[in-house]
Structure 1
Amino acid sequence: MTDPTQRPAPRGDGARRTGATPARRPAGGGEVARPAEGDGYRSAIPPRGPLARALAPVGGFGVTLANMVKPTVTEQYPSEKVPTKPRYHGRHQLNRYPDGLEKCIGCELCAWACPADAIYVEAGENTPDAQYSPGERYGRVYQINYLRCIFCGLCVEACPTRALTMTNEYELTGPTRAGLIFEKEDLLAPLRDGMLRAPHPMVDGTTDTEYYRGEVTGTTPEQVAWVAEHRPDDPTLPGYTGDEPRWTPGPAAAAVQATAAAATKQGSR
């Protein structure tokens, strides 16, 4: 009989105190064999010989030694500008649909996703006489502060209509700090041939769904007639013969382009 006043030792505690190896029990029950005495850790990597151990430091500097004998390649910037990678994160751009309407709907998701708080958006309501984008709203105010922007691309991922993308333009410099706050007119994509400057009505018989699906491929005669009636001197009308250009960059974008061009001219050889 066991003594009721004697407490049993915790399981495994006595084995650790005495140095004995406790038995390992598999999940299905039963016992497994204990390892043999002196059977410790064995590395699966074969040991190196004396020569390999002596040359190990040289092998560690192999990359450094190989680059020391290679010719030095210097990019002659700004005389020679090397093209960027296709997915380079450069200046932002607000895109348009093929008929000229803006893709931005003023949802402000890009501003919420920006970790640097560099984007500010205010939405406006579309009306029959002022239709800037498909649907109910458009981006009335759109600002990007390039003094804060870290070019992470999270704003592009958050945009539901692919209105905001990033170009390969990396020369962003200006004479003033305020000049690096780009407004909507600085970010809008240039008007291509066949596009009409907004505002103008949507394509007859369509909704914003057809625009999002890419079913609108260009302007219609009804849209051209509406713009000709309300803005007869619009330079985007077919057959326009005036002096006003179809599209001009905003003041901040123009100042940045002029500064970059002047720096390129001064630094070119």
Structure 2
Amino acid sequence: MAIKIVVRRPLTFAERTYLPQIIAGLKVTWDNMMRPPVTLQYPDERPAIPKNYRGVPTLVADTNIRITPGEISETSDNAHVEKAPKEFEINMLRCIYCGLCQEVCPEEAIFLQSQYSLTGLTRESMVNNKAKLYELGGTLPDNHHKWDKKKEEAEKQAGGQH
């Protein structure tokens, strides 16, 4: 076996000092420095929320009904419904904002609001009971797409009866 000796060529001044690499890095830095910023100064600037954004789940009371869902008196015939929850709460630590609770709500009272910043200091403060959910949701039936669809359907039915 023959041993082949490989002779390295000597490095140039630029290769020894890494000047081409430093200049390339400074060019990238300069290009990024001249671009407009893409971040927001969060507490002062708020991002634009899409129309169908799924945020915090809340309960919304309808202004047209006298009894809100879950507030039926004990003397009523419907007081002992078989599958009614004894207590109603949403644990925001486990919520993944999927919207399934909104879809399956038989009273159509659960809505995912456009509120995206919900914080708490303790775990207990992140579990929202019915009173807290009503406080977050309020009475906003006209701000939701579901009510718009129902109004359109009612208008079509009323228009077809004449």
TM-score range, shorter chain: 0.5 to 0.7
Greater Rg over alpha carbons, structure: 1
The equivalent position to 1:81 in structure 2, one of 46, 54, 59, is: 46
Give the letter aligned to residue 169 of structure 1. Answer: Q
Deviations 1:159-217 (A, max 9, x none): 1221111101111111111110111100013258xxxxxxxxxxxxxxxxxxxx88xxx
Q: Report if aligned partners of 1:100, 1:191 keep a CA contact under 8 Å in 2.
A: no
Q: Does 1:91 align with 2:91?
A: no
The residue aligned with 2:116 is: 170
Is 2:40–2:47's contact at 8 Å kept on the other side of the alignment? yes
- TM-score normalised by structure 1 residue count: 0.33
Corresponding letter in the other structure for 1:162? E
1:190 matched to 2:138: yes
> Residues 206-245 of structure 1: matches in 2 within 5 Å?
none
Contact 2:59 2:138 (C-alpha < 8 Å) held by counterparts: no
Question: What secondary structure sits across from 2:132 in the alignment?
Answer: helix
Q: In 1, Cα distance between the equivalents of 2:139 and 2:102?
A: 21
CA distance in 2, matches of 1:156, 1:190: 16
Secondary structure of the corresponding residue to residue 155 of structure 1: helix
* Identity across matched positions, percent: 30
Structure 1 residues without counterparts, runs of 5 or longer: 1-66, 106-123, 193-212, 215-269
| Unaligned residue ranges in structure 2 (runs of 5+) | 1-30, 141-149, 152-162
> RMSD in angstroms over aligned alpha carbons?
3.2
Structure 1 residue 71 displacement after superposition = 3.1
Whole-Å separation in 2 of the counterparts to 1:84 and 1:94: 20
Which fold has the larger relative contact order, with Cα–Cα distance below 8 Å and residues 6 or more apart in sequence? 2
The residue number in structure 1 matching 2:73 is: 126
SS in 2 for 1:88: coil
- Cα distance, 1:145 vs. partner? 0.7
Cα distance change of structure 1 residues 71 and 158 upon mapping to structure 2, 3 Å threshold: same
Q: CA deviation at 1:83?
A: 3.2
Which residue identity does 1:190 align to in structure 2?
Answer: G
Count of residues in Structure 1 that have an aligned counterpart in Structure 2: 105
Structure 1 segments of 4+ aligned residues over 4 angstroms from their partners: 67-70, 135-140
- The equivalent of 2:97 in structure 1 is 151
More helix by share: 2
Query: How far apart, in 2, do the equivalents of 1:147 and 1:184 lie?
Result: 16
Looking at structure 2, the residues matched to 154 and 169 of structure 1 have their Cα atoms a distance apart, in angstroms, of: 18
Retained in 1: the 8 A contact 2:93–2:127? yes
TM-score in terms of structure 2 length: 0.52
Deviation at 1:125? 5.8
- Which of 54, 63, 67 is the aligned partner of 1:101? 67
